[in-house]
Structure 1
Amino acid sequence: MRWSARLTGSPWRVAPPKDDQVALPGPRDPLGHVDLPGPDQLLDLHDLYDLRDVLGRLPAPVVITYGARHRLGYANDAYRELFGTPPNGQPAEEALPELDGLGLLPLLDQVLRSGRGRGVKARSITDPADPTRTRCFNVSCVPLHSTERVSSRDGQPPAVGVLVFAAEVTDQVAAATRLREAERRQREAAVTLQRSLLPQKLEQPADLRVAATYQPGGADAAVGGDWYDVISLRGGRTALVIGDVMGRGLRAAAVMGQLRTAVRAYARLDLPPHQVMTLLDGIAMEIDANQIATCIYAVYDAPSASGKAGTLTYSSAGHLPLMLRGPDGTVLQGEQVNGPPLGTGGGNHVSHTLRLFPGTTGVLYTDGLVERRDQDIDQGLGVLARTLAGAVGSPDVVCSRLLRAMGVTAEHDDDVAVLAFQLPGTEPAVPAQGRLTSAVDSELGEV
């Protein structure tokens, strides 16, 4: 029986073992006369180089084991410098305890049984020469196959040994750790900035109950530019705002803060919502021409003493439609024909006016609440509508139930903002299954 292992690019052979040990070819003169093969022949590396000398010169630790107990057949200079000189012929569990410490012995069993290479990444060990230092290695285990012609299911001779090659990646692992730590600090700074720019306490008009919540994305998701606001206006009116700056990180949070400040300033001018959007579009382009945002600006006017119904006048700049639940439990979504996102310079924003009856509950939200990578956004809007139909209670209860029902957790892959408002009146009843009839206003499109 002869043993061989095939490395990338060319074949090489290992001589048959003697006395239960692995024997490697003797030295050859690479500069001596060699009969070069023809164009249809493979060049045997042993005709040019001594395998033992090649492995010995490698800067990476290399060992060769053989047999079911992985007896040590060879260890190169780099391995001996790192772990000392192990005794040849001894099982790996005795001769190579460092492999056991790296959790590689089960991997060697798998390689020997399957005849296929395996590998592990970033396995760490304590440097024997410096106990205060940790070194990391990517380890590859390659099967050494017998050269005997043995009939097998896949036509490949059985593995009789394993070559273990360890490439040091200590510097790469340290760099990756530093990068993750920097990203963590940046994310914490962005979350802190984001929360500081949001209202610390919402204004509570006498004729409207409001609540809002902000949920940053999980550790793997960078913080975005979601925001909300409630602004008291003259004449007993209230402005409700929600927006989402595209992008992630500190830049998106900073742009969000500037837009929120601009909205509060423009709201004091008592302009119609579509004109406020036009002004915001211009300021967004000045802040950052490469950053766009979506937004809904709505103004609620409470019912008059003469019995006139309350109204909600709003304008949307590319934002997802608001949703309303009427006093009878009907869920409807707002007009989807809206203007372009802020920062595009498109203009053409329009205002819509809705009549709201006592007991109506409305929800403004950002796309993180309904968008999922594995489904169409219309499916998310449908789920939100059905959830809102049964989410009775005060606005803060509605916010909590929507987040829970939509699967928004601390590990969510996007940040989410939700603003819920409710007109005083009879608490809405939960509608029957599938009941979605128009009960809020004829201008609303039914979900």
Structure 2
Amino acid sequence: MRWSARLTGAPWRVAPPQDDPVPALPGQRDPLGPTGLVGPEQLLDLHELYDLCDVLGRLPAPVVITYGARHRLGYANDAYRELFGSRHAGLPADEALPELTELGLPSLLDQVLRSGRGRSVKARSITDPSGRQRCFNVSCVPLHSNERTGTRDGQPPAVGVLVFAAEVTDQVHAAARLREAERRQREAAVTLQRSLLPQELDQPAELQVAATYQPGGADAAVGGDWYDVISLRGGRTALVIGDVMGRGLRAAAVMGQLRTAVRAYARLDLPPHQVMSLLDAIAVEIDANQIATCLYAVYDPPPAAGLGYAHTGTLTYASAGHLPLMLRGPDGTVLQGEQQNGPPLGTGGGTHTSHTLRLLPGTTGVLYTDGLVERRDQDIDLGLDRLAHTLGGAMGSPKEVCARLLRAMGVTAEHDDDVAVLAFRLPGPADENPLDTEVDSDLGQV
């Protein structure tokens, strides 16, 4: 026996013949027509279906309609009156709607009325009658006349403006809290960064040194730039500049560990390329996903007395993917250091090479990070050329050289990247022989 789900009193369903089309089930009734399409014969006035003021009155957002050149009040919905109190229709906006002036909207209403195009503003704040500060995104939409005279581009002239305000107080406060949290985090990173940099540089008798660090602007996260000056045995001095890739507290923490490692390895009196190899290994252990560039140089002063090359000191350096050092000779000639670099620290391999230069008294040298010369809208070679040109005319002490380079390269408090600069100068007359940049055959390259 086969059971059926037929309700009591309902007729049995009979399957239609196979040759008859299956009738379509009627859809939900469409007030605009049985087919849902509006044709010339079916066009209805929407006012017969909906009361526009009733629709606007039900909106939870404040809505007001003005008309005429003085933006007289034509309509204000319930949400508007609940927020700002009752308003008298027919009065100009400057009398009936003082809150629009507080929101800075009168000029915007004029623009909308003249152009016939909508305008909007974001996060305008206003104090409601209860004293609470509230924020709104406001849209002003033109209301056009039904007359066809005086049309502009086929559009009837605007005779009024509908003002719609969407409250965004919570979003604005959330954004402010986020900015404040980011500001505190950045201040913490800057504080950590500065605390990890040397508070006072060693000042060897044979070398004048100065350094500066400029964090990026408020929109730039703190990076991992660092510098150091280390006094070694025999009157020698190690000069270090480095840059950890990345931003924030993590980059600053890695920078601090690398700086500590450099100071420890420098005491071993190893050649610069071996120091770079040791730093590469320790960088991998610190964070395998973090790499850094570094330039490590050792200045060896000349003997107290002698002739010829005895009056020159030597600078031996190695680079791990860092920008070349720049030297300015006593005659103003600028030389870039050897471009052949080893791989950055943290890559876990590769060969680093030491290079040696002889420097005459009066020579000035500069070590720096990429924030000094790199710009998003130009090739870095242009920045290097500009730095070389600036250094060629930079006179004075290392501290004055640092300040001049920052000004000339356009580094300000709002710069988009960290900048570290370390300058040094060999004491001596400024009018001696030109800088000798040849590598002595006895010293060679390692």
Task: Output the TM-score relative to the length of structure 1.
Answer: 0.86
Alignment of 1:407-446 (within 5 A): 407-427=410-430, 439-442=435-438
Q: Distance in 1 between matches of 2:31 and 2:290?
A: 69
Q: Distance in 2 between matches of 1:367 and 1:32?
A: 67
Change (3 A) 1:106 1:171: same
Give the drift of 1:49.
3.1
Alignment of 1:13-412 (within 5 A): 33-36=31-34, 37-38=36-37, 46=47, 48-128=49-129, 130-131=130-131, 133-150=132-149, 152-304=151-303, 305-307=305-307, 308=310, 309-412=312-415
**Any conservation in 2 of the 1:34–1:47 contact (CA below 8 Å)?**
no
Change (3 A) 1:47 1:440: farther
Q: Distance in 2 between matches of 1:428 and 1:171?
A: 67
**Structure 1 residue matching 2:79: 3-state secondary structure:** helix
The code of the aligned residue for 2:73 comes to L
**Any conservation in 2 of the 1:64–1:162 contact (CA below 8 Å)?**
yes
**Any conservation in 2 of the 1:209–1:421 contact (CA below 8 Å)?**
yes
**Structure of greater Rg:** 2
Q: Distance in 2 between matches of 1:215 and 1:43?
A: 69
Change (3 A) 1:44 1:363: farther
**Any conservation in 2 of the 1:335–1:443 contact (CA below 8 Å)?**
no
Which residue of structure 2 lines up, in the alignment, with residue 20 of structure 1? none
Q: Distance in 2 between matches of 1:43 and 1:378?
A: 70
**Any conservation in 2 of the 1:392–1:428 contact (CA below 8 Å)?**
no
Change (3 A) 1:73 1:168: same
Q: Once the two structures are aligned, what percentage of the paired residues are identical?
A: 82
For structure 1, the residue ranges without an aligned partner over 5 or more in a row are 1-29, 430-436
Change (3 A) 1:49 1:394: same
Which residue of structure 2 lines up, in the alignment, with residue 8 of structure 1? none
**Any conservation in 1 of the 2:120–2:140 contact (CA below 8 Å)?**
yes
Q: Distance in 2 between matches of 1:31 and 1:125?
A: 45
Give the drift of 1:409.
1.6
Change (3 A) 1:285 1:147: farther
**Any conservation in 1 of the 2:232–2:267 contact (CA below 8 Å)?**
yes
Q: Distance in 1 between matches of 2:284 and 2:45?
A: 67
**Any conservation in 1 of the 2:368–2:422 contact (CA below 8 Å)?**
yes
**Any conservation in 1 of the 2:213–2:418 contact (CA below 8 Å)?**
yes
Change (3 A) 1:172 1:428: farther
**Any conservation in 2 of the 1:321–1:333 contact (CA below 8 Å)?**
yes
Moved more, 146-155 or 416-425: 146-155
Which residue of structure 2 lines up, in the alignment, with residue 432 of structure 1? none
The code of the aligned residue for 1:339 comes to G
For structure 2, the residue ranges without an aligned partner over 5 or more in a row are 1-27, 441-446
Change (3 A) 1:345 1:63: same
* 1:70-118 residue CA offsets vs partner (Å, 9 max, x unmatched): 1111111110110112111211111111111111111101110011111
Moved more, 378-387 or 41-50: 41-50
Change (3 A) 1:32 1:75: farther
The code of the aligned residue for 1:363 comes to V
**Any conservation in 2 of the 1:281–1:347 contact (CA below 8 Å)?**
no
Which residue of structure 1 lines up, in the alignment, with residue 3 of structure 2? none
**Any conservation in 1 of the 2:315–2:359 contact (CA below 8 Å)?**
yes
* 1:225-284 residue CA offsets vs partner (Å, 9 max, x unmatched): 111000111222111000011111211111111110010011111111111111111111
Which residue of structure 2 lines up, in the alignment, with residue 22 of structure 1? none
Change (3 A) 1:443 1:87: farther
Moved more, 235-244 or 152-161: 152-161
Give the drift of 1:427.
2.2
The code of the aligned residue for 1:388 comes to L
Q: Distance in 1 between matches of 2:195 and 2:86?
A: 60
Q: Distance in 2 between matches of 1:324 and 1:32?
A: 83
Change (3 A) 1:321 1:43: farther
Q: Distance in 2 between matches of 1:141 and 1:57?
A: 19
Give the drift of 1:428.
5.3
**Structure 1 residue matching 2:332: 3-state secondary structure:** coil
**Structure 2 residue matching 1:280: 3-state secondary structure:** helix
Which residue of structure 2 lines up, in the alignment, with residue 27 of structure 1? none
Q: Distance in 2 between matches of 1:32 and 1:381?
A: 72
Give the drift of 1:346.
3.4
**Structure 2 residue matching 1:63: 3-state secondary structure:** strand
* 1:171-219 residue CA offsets vs partner (Å, 9 max, x unmatched): 0010111111111111111111111111111111111111111111222
**Any conservation in 2 of the 1:322–1:334 contact (CA below 8 Å)?**
yes
Moved more, 41-50 or 64-73: 41-50
Moved more, 219-228 or 316-325: 219-228
Q: Distance in 2 between matches of 1:40 and 1:233?
A: 94
Q: Which runs of 4+ in 1 moved over 6 A?
A: 39-44
